[in-house]
Amino acid sequence: MKNIVIVGAAGRMGKILVRLVQAGIEPGLKLSGAVDLWDCADLGKDAGLVAGAGEAGVLITSDLAALLPAGDVVIDFSAHHGTSGNAPRVAAAGKGLVIGTTGLNADEKKAVEQAAQKIPVVLAPNMSLGMNLLFALVRKAAEALKGKGYDVEIIERHHRRKKDSPSGTAIGLGEAAADGYGWDLKKTAVDGRRGLVGERPVEQIGFHAVRGGDIVGDHTVLFAADGECLELSHRATSRDAFARGALRAAAWVAGRTPGLYSMRDVLGV
């Protein structure tokens, strides 16, 4: 049995993770700890009850360090600043780490990369199998269309509560397309367009973020040429797909050699 500590346990993803661990979706995983912020209204409550999954016998606490000795793998779906602060603690304790949190800035990513020198870390902006397949398909499409006049645009749609933009998944899709084209995404990405922006240059990848309602997450990568347009799309209909991937990653990462891994490594796509 691998003992799992969930960070962000009272959040949307945290509750689904608790529910699916309790349901035994990924064999061999056991909930051993649940963490959220000190001012979270659910602090001190049973994580299973908060998740609507029945009593788990694990209370939500804000003290990650106290839970680490008994844990094997930490799954972190919290917030960018929290995740980057947690990574060195998990590394010091020598545990496995699965990070689903998005919106990490360059310094925060560096903290995760440093932790990955000491422990195995899976970092993925999107943990679903379908989306990770889409990353591979987009890279393949870009390799095939490279230099043939196909403009790349990425459109993503999410619920109104999402804090970062464009989504980490959209950036991941942009990276896949840029890799396939042999471009540097940092030099080619533009966020939306407004005003007299002039004609579209060839070496550009446009990102468009739509926010509204309770949309779980839609992503489309458009390859538009003269005379045709290829669209590759993914629609998440429930957050369970991300949580299932995260639990698969947790089972996979325990006992690996230190390093920074992606869901491509976990899923073999």
The one catalytic residue among 30, 45, 109, 162:
162
Work out how close the CB of 55 gets to ligand NAD at its nearest, in angstroms, rounded to a whole number: 20
CB of 98 to ligand NAD, least distance (A): 9
Report the residue number, 131 or 145, with the smaller CB distance to ligand NAD. Answer: 131
Of 9-17, 184-192, 204-212, 247-255: span binding ligand NAD (CB under 6 A): 9-17
Rounded Cα gap, residues 189 and 200, in angstroms: 12
Q: How far apart are CA 54 and CA 138, in angstroms?
A: 41
Those residues whose C-beta lies under 8 Å from the C-beta of residue 74, and which sit 6 or more positions away, are 4, 5, 6, 7, 64, 68, 86, 90, 95, 96, 97, 98
Query: What gap in Å lies between CA 132 and CA 123, rounded to an integer?
Result: 13
User: Is 67 one of the binding residues for ligand NAD (CB under 6 A)?
Assistant: no
Per rule CB under 6 A, is residue 33 in the interface with ligand NAD?
A: no
Q: Is 158 a catalytic residue?
A: yes
Q: Does 112 interact with ligand NAD (rule: CB under 6 A)? A: no
Q: How far is CA 35 from the centre of its chain?
A: 18
- 208 vs 239 by CB, closer to ligand NAD: 239
Residue 40 interacting with ligand NAD (CB under 6 A)? yes
Residue with tokens 């992606």: 262
Of 165 and 204, which has the nearer Cβ to ligand NAD? 165
In the numeric block, which tokens belong to residue 27? Answer: 């064999």
Please name which of 144, 132, 139, 225 lies closest in space to residue 180, comparing C-alpha atoms.
139
Residues that are catalytic: 158, 162
Question: What are the residues binding ligand NAD (CB under 6 A)?
Answer: 7-8, 10-14, 35-37, 40, 77-79, 82, 100-103, 124-127, 239, 242
